[in-house]
Chains A and B, each alone.
Chain A
Amino acid sequence: MLEPTPISSMNNETVIKVDNLTAAYGDFVVMENVSFEVNQGEVFVILGGSGCGKSTLLKHLIGLKDPAQGTILILDDDMGAASTEERNAILRRIGVMYQSSALFGSMSLIENVILPMEEFTNLPMEAMDIIARLKLSLVGLTGFEHHLPAELSGGMQKRAAIARAMALDPSILFLDEPSAGLDPVTSAGLDQLILSLRDSLGITFVIVTHELDSIYTIADRVIMLDRRAKTIIAQGAPKVLRDTSDNPWVRQFFQREPE
Chain B
Amino acid sequence: MPKNPLTEPVANLRLDPSPRGLDIFLSGRLDSHGVALVWDQATKAARDARHEVSIDLSGVDYLDGAGAALLTRLALHARENQARFTMQGLAPDFQAMVDMYDMDALDADSERKDECSGLITGTGRLAAETWSNMRDLVAFVGEASYALFSALLHPGRVRWKDVITTCEKAGFNALPIIALMGFLIGLIMAFQSAIPLQRFGADIYVADFLGIALSRELGPLITAILLTGRSGSAFAAEIGTMKVNEEVNALITMGLNPVRFLAVPRVLGAVLVTPVLTVFFNLFALVGGALVIRSFGYPVTTYLAHVQNSTHTGDVLGGLFKAMVFAVLVAGIGCQRGLNTAKGASAVGESTTSSVVSGLVLITVSDGIMAVIFYALGI
Chain A residues within 8 Å of B, Cβ to Cβ:
1-3, 5-9, 13, 40, 75-77, 89, 104-106, 117, 120-124, 126-127, 130-131, 133-138, 142-150, 166-169, 171, 196, 200-202
CB of A214 to closest CB in B, whole Å: 22
The residue from A3, A6, A133 contacting B106, defined by CB atoms under 8 A apart:
A133
For residue B110, which residues in chain A have a CB less than 8 angstroms away from its CB? 142-146
For residue A120, which residues in chain B have a CB less than 8 angstroms away from its CB? 32
Residue of chain A at shortest CB distance from B103? A134
For residue A13, which residues in chain B have a CB less than 8 angstroms away from its CB? 1
Q: When chains A and B are docked, how far (Å) is the Cα of A150 from the Cα of B346?
A: 12
Chain B residues within 8 Å of A, Cβ to Cβ:
1, 3-4, 31-33, 35-36, 39-40, 43, 59, 61-62, 64-66, 68-70, 72-73, 91, 93-94, 96-97, 99-102, 105-106, 108, 110-113, 343-347
Inter-subunit contact A143/B108 (CB<8 Å): yes
Residue of chain B at shortest CB distance from A6? B1
Residue of chain B at shortest CB distance from A201? B97
Inter-subunit contact A105/B346 (CB<8 Å): yes
CB of B61 to closest CB in A, whole Å: 5
The residue from A5, A124, A142 contacting B102, defined by CB atoms under 8 A apart:
A142
CB of B122 to closest CB in A, whole Å: 19
For residue B111, which residues in chain A have a CB less than 8 angstroms away from its CB? 146
20 A–B pairs (Cβ distance < 8 Å), ordered by A: A9-B93, A75-B3, A89-B4, A117-B32, A121-B32, A121-B36, A122-B33, A127-B70, A127-B73, A130-B72, A131-B68, A134-B101, A137-B105, A138-B101, A142-B110, A146-B110, A146-B112, A150-B343, A150-B344, A200-B99
Inter-subunit contact A121/B33 (CB<8 Å): yes
Given contacts A123-B32, A143-B110, 19 further A-B contacts (CB under 8 A): A3-B61, A7-B93, A8-B93, A104-B345, A122-B32, A124-B39, A124-B40, A127-B73, A134-B65, A134-B101, A134-B106, A135-B65, A137-B102, A142-B102, A146-B112, A150-B343, A166-B65, A171-B1, A201-B64
Inter-subunit contact B91/A2 (CB<8 Å): yes
The residue from A142, A145, A201 contacting B100, defined by CB atoms under 8 A apart:
A201
Inter-subunit contact A7/B97 (CB<8 Å): yes
For residue B91, which residues in chain A have a CB less than 8 angstroms away from its CB? 2, 5
For residue A150, which residues in chain B have a CB less than 8 angstroms away from its CB? 343-344
Inter-subunit contact B69/A130 (CB<8 Å): yes
For residue B343, which residues in chain A have a CB less than 8 angstroms away from its CB? 105, 150
Inter-subunit contact B32/A200 (CB<8 Å): no
Q: A105-B344, A105-B346, A137-B105 known; A200 and B97 CB under 8 Å?
A: yes
Most buried by B among A105, A148, A171: A105
Inter-subunit contact B61/A2 (CB<8 Å): yes
CB of A189 to closest CB in B, whole Å: 16
Q: When chains A and B are docked, how far (Å) is the Cα of A137 from the Cα of B110?
A: 12
Inter-subunit contact B105/A134 (CB<8 Å): yes
